[in-house]
Amino acid sequence: MNESSCVAFGVLLIVSFLGFAQTPSSQAPATRPDWSALFLAPPSQLSFDPSPQKYLTGVELFRRCYVMIIRRPLPDENQLLSRVKNGTLTGEEACVRLVGNATFNAEGILEHPDLDKVELARLLATFNRLHSSWFEAYNLSFSGENFGTAEFSDFQQMGYGLTRAFFGQRDVTSTLQGHEIFAPLRDPINRNQYLLARNPFTGNHLPWDRIGFFYDDGTRIQGRIPQAPRGTLRGFAVEKESFQLKKYFIQYEKFHENTDSNLRRHFGGGTLGSSTYLLLTMGDKVGTILDGQVRLPRRWAKSVFKDVMCRNLPVLDEADGHKYLQPESPNVFSKNESCMQCHATMDQIVGVIRDVQGGVNNGKGLDFDRTKNIQKDSKIGFSYLRSVHDSKKLQPADHPYAFAPQIGRLRMRDFNGQELDEPVASLDELGQKIAATDDFYMCQARRYFKFLTGIDVETDPIVLKSSALTQQDKLMVGQVHEWAMQLKKDQKAEKMVESMLRSPFFRHQNFDPIQPTSLAQPVAAAPAH
Amino acid sequence: MLAKNKFALLWTAVFCLSANALGSDVIKRNRPKMDHESVYYFLVKQFGPASQALLKKNFLMRPNLWGGPCDPYGQVFLTKKGQGVLVDEETECPDEGMSSKLDFYVERDTLAILILDKTCEKLGQDEETLRYFLQAKSISEINSESVTQAYQAFFPNTVPSAAWTQQAMGQKSWAPIVTGLCRTPTWQFL
């Protein structure tokens, strides 16, 4: 910290202490107020109900976690239940074992010494569905006749990454890094014969063997379009080979272009840059080339903050919008302070995927059998992405933004109120910067805690800062923060879940163990620890 | 009908209270409860295979009412009589992608309570499903021991109140006892 910023920081501390200011003014952009002091109280001040009858017995506790996680009635012959009943395991230990003893074998299949095959599939399904549900977008058919996309591009891809890290004892940070595509390993007892998509006229699922994929000129695409695996989920493999299409069709405003491409392309940054996530969230029409002004994948930007950090835009403070005004810009929103509170974030972060050409429509599947089951004009198209650099026809001079170096900026106020405004030159670098924030871990802690207790604690600092918080609110935010910081340190989400399973919140009959009497105490009056 | 509606409204109120009794703007509580699959399997366990079709229709196929995301890619369809038919009906994931994004715990609305009420009435009145319920617990006569067993099928490790036991023992058949237990939605609480 240099001398001038030291002085500014000191002044801010004094002013904050006197209660005159809580947000930085536009004249003092370098100030870094610690917002978290406004809405965090140390969880050590939580006082829990001491009456044992308010907490579940060992058997009750294990029944709770079993039904919650396996989502089946607990069978009397369950091995872990027997051990709880005969006193060789506590209910708490049995719950921890239920989650913690699952590991992937060398083939990527989940295994557990205490669970049968059905239970194991349920355990994996529960966490995978939980993780997948954290990503809001599911509709890959954003541009009309491309509803075939979901047939080969599994929209749970992001959930697979988190689930693999969870049971595979991998760092949570790894989910925001690299180019790995996770192929779900599903029971191949029967090969699925139908699409997920239904005939819009009959409501029947469309059969695979009657669907052909074609180029726009009517030539059938050679080779089988790989179906996303279907069946009971057993584990994950990392996809080594990508399906290559030769001379695929690019629909662009002025011309069509056939080039070779990779259907499973990954743009890096783990979750942030898989083709699936980009297709789900870029949300622009077929063939769009980004121009840095009107055509920007802002929905992707919003999704990254929401899905990965539990943050809604704006992620900048009110006063921050002023700093990023662009009076000379042709865009109206660039001259408006409140607009720039969001645009200053969205329009910068997307620079890192400026070369991605969104919603490329590769082909159409036609009803070439003309069966009664399918309408004559039914079509099935599918989308995937490429980089503009793959094109032989596009001229960089015509698209200066898309062809410029892929540099974006992560611009936000983090959980602690610190202003981040840092360049990122790749999705991996963006993933690293996000993983360095507390927000990423707060989000994960919030979501696991909500699943295990039904208690949803707000972790968005902009919301917290503008709310009138009770002492209980602060203590609860403090509790989630403590778990988040534990996760940030040891990086293992499964360990954090174990801590939550051991907590009084999970063991209490009503998931509400806090003593009301302790809530009346103001933070300042609480004994020091 | 009026009495049934009052019953449904009462339980809706109970669920709403449990959902956010201590809630504030920044802390929202929604008591964990069984999701659409858990409810389905719980009731199938109690009432046997003859209940499956009804329970599938009212619980398994309605994740939006009972909560719990499903997995569209878990569905495997094979051809049967020229149509795509699910190999395992219990893997059905309606509404395609939308149902994969549901919360595990959703508040029970009036419709959900009414459906539970109606389903339980059918299960209690149907000879086959009621017989399965009683035989699985090896109970037949109504006495304090057997009604306690019936009670604990829905509320394990819990002793029924003396008033409830007395009231149950005053019934002439099992149907109202079993129906009453089944339609009490708090057995879904985790």
Give the number of other CB atoms < 10 A from CB of residue A79.
15
Give dist(CA B144, CA A432) in Å, integer. 64
pLDDT of res. B1: 39
Mean pLDDT by 10 residues, chain B (190 residues): 46 47 76 97 98 96 95 92 85 83 94 97 97 96 96 94 96 97 96
Indicate the pLDDT class of residue A343, thresholds 50, 70 and 90.
very high
Question: Is pLDDT at A29 greater than 90 in this prediction?
Answer: no
Q: State percent of chain A over pLDDT 90.
A: 57
The residue with greater pLDDT, B98 or A527, is: B98
> Which residue from B26, B74, B77 is facing A457, i.e. has the nearest CB?
B26
Give dist(CA A337, CA A342) in Å, integer. 9
pLDDT of res. A441: 98
Indicate the pLDDT class of residue A32, thresholds 50, 70 and 90.
low
* DSSP-derived secondary structure for A91-117: HHHHHHHHHHT-EE-TTSBEE-TT--H
Q: State percent of chain B over pLDDT 70.
A: 87
Contacts of A471 (CB under 8 A, 6+ apart): A41, A519, A520, A521, A522, A523
The residue with greater pLDDT, A494 or B91, is: A494
Which residues of chain A are within 8 Å of residue B82 when distances are taken between CB atoms?
A: 373
Question: Is pLDDT at A349 greater than 50 in this prediction?
Answer: yes
Give dist(CA B157, CA A74) in Å, integer. 13
Mean pLDDT for the stretch of residues A290-295: 92
Alpha helices in A101-246 (DSSP H): 117-133, 149-152, 157-167
Give dist(CA A204, CA A374) in Å, integer. 9
pLDDT of res. A245: 58
Question: Is pLDDT at A21 greater than 60 in this prediction?
Answer: no
Question: Is pLDDT at A362 greater than 70 in this prediction?
Answer: no
Question: Is pLDDT at A154 greater than 70 in this prediction?
Answer: yes
> Dihedrals φ, ψ of A33, to 5°?
-70, 145
pLDDT of res. A216: 61
Question: Is pLDDT at A9 greater than 60 in this prediction?
Answer: no
pLDDT of res. A303: 97
The overall average pLDDT reported for chain A is: 83
* DSSP-derived secondary structure for A321-382: HHHT--TT-SSGGGG-HHHHHHHHHHHHHGGGGTTEEEEEEEEEEE-TT--TTS-TT-EEEE
Span between the terminal Cα atoms of chain A, in Å? 31
Read off the tokens for B164. Answer: 């409830």
Q: State percent of chain A over pLDDT 70.
A: 78
Q: pLDDT tens for residues B1-40?
A: 344 444 444 554 444 444 444 446 899 999 999 999 999 9
> Which residue from A63, A136, A154 is facing B73, i.e. has the nearest CB?
A154
Indicate the pLDDT class of residue A258, thresholds 50, 70 and 90.
low
- Whether residue B82 lies within 8 A of chain A, CB to CB, comes out as yes
Q: Please give the single-letter amino acid code of residue A182.
A: F
- Whether residue A136 lies within 8 A of chain B, CB to CB, comes out as yes
With H, G, I as helix, E, B as strand and everything else as coil, classify residue A493.
Answer: helix
- Burial label for A18, CB within 10 Å (0-12, 13-18, 19+), is exposed
Mean pLDDT for the stretch of residues A390-417: 94
pLDDT of res. A219: 67
pLDDT of res. A386: 83
Q: Chain B residue with minimal CA distance to A447? A: B103
> Which residue from B31, B37, B73 is facing A454, i.e. has the nearest CB?
B31
Mean pLDDT for the stretch of residues A477-494: 98
* A203-212, A277-286, A301-310, B15-24: range with highest mean pLDDT: A301-310
Give dist(CA B38, CA B67) in Å, integer. 10
With H, G, I as helix, E, B as strand and everything else as coil, classify residue B106.
Answer: coil
Q: pLDDT tens for residues A233-256?
A: 999 998 765 555 555 555 555 556
The residue with greater pLDDT, A37 or A478, is: A478
The residue with greater pLDDT, A463 or A329, is: A463
Q: Chain B residue with minimal CA distance to A229? A: B73
Specify the range with the lowest mean pLDDT, choosing from A333-337, A379-383, A419-423, B91-95: A379-383
Q: Tell me how far the alpha carbon of residue A412 is from its chain's centroid.
A: 18
Indicate the pLDDT class of residue A368, thresholds 50, 70 and 90.
very low
Q: Are A409 and A429 in contact (CB under 8 A)?
A: no
Question: Is pLDDT at A31 greater than 60 in this prediction?
Answer: no
> Which residue from B27, B38, B83 is facing A71, i.e. has the nearest CB?
B38
Task: Please name every residue paired with A381 in a beta bridge, in sequence order, or none if there are none.
Answer: A364
Q: Chain A residue with minimal CA distance to B77? A: A192
Q: Which of A49, A59, A68 to mutate to test the interface with B (most CBs of B within 10 A)?
A: A68
Q: pLDDT tens for residues A513-525?
A: 998 755 544 443 3
Q: Which of A141, A229, A236 is nearest to A189 (CA)?
A: A229
Q: Are A169 and A492 in contact (CB under 8 A)?
A: yes
Q: Which of B183, B145, B168, B163 is nearest to B43 (CA)?
A: B183
pLDDT of res. A254: 56
Give dist(CA A517, CA B27) in Å, integer. 18
Question: Is pLDDT at A191 greater than 90 in this prediction?
Answer: no
Contacts of A451 (CB under 8 A, 6+ apart): A130, B104
* A143-152, A289-298, B50-59: range with highest mean pLDDT: B50-59
Mean pLDDT for the stretch of residues A71-98: 96
Q: Please count the residue pairs, one from chain A and one from chain B, whose beta carbons lie less than 8 angstroms apart.
A: 146
pLDDT of res. A321: 82
> Shortest Cα distance from A405 to chain B (angstroms)?
36
Mean pLDDT for the stretch of residues A184-191: 83
Question: Is pLDDT at A3 greater than 50 in this prediction?
Answer: no
Question: Is pLDDT at A88 greater than 70 in this prediction?
Answer: yes
Which residues of chain A are within 8 Å of residue B68 when distances are taken between CB atoms?
A: 71, 129
Mean pLDDT for the stretch of residues A277-283: 87
Contacts of B147 (CB under 8 A, 6+ apart): B160, B165, B168, B169, B177
CB contact under 8 A, A232 and B74: yes
Q: How far is CA A486 from CA A143, A309, A444, A445, A494, in A?
A: 42, 17, 11, 10, 11
- Biggest CA pair distance of chain B: 58
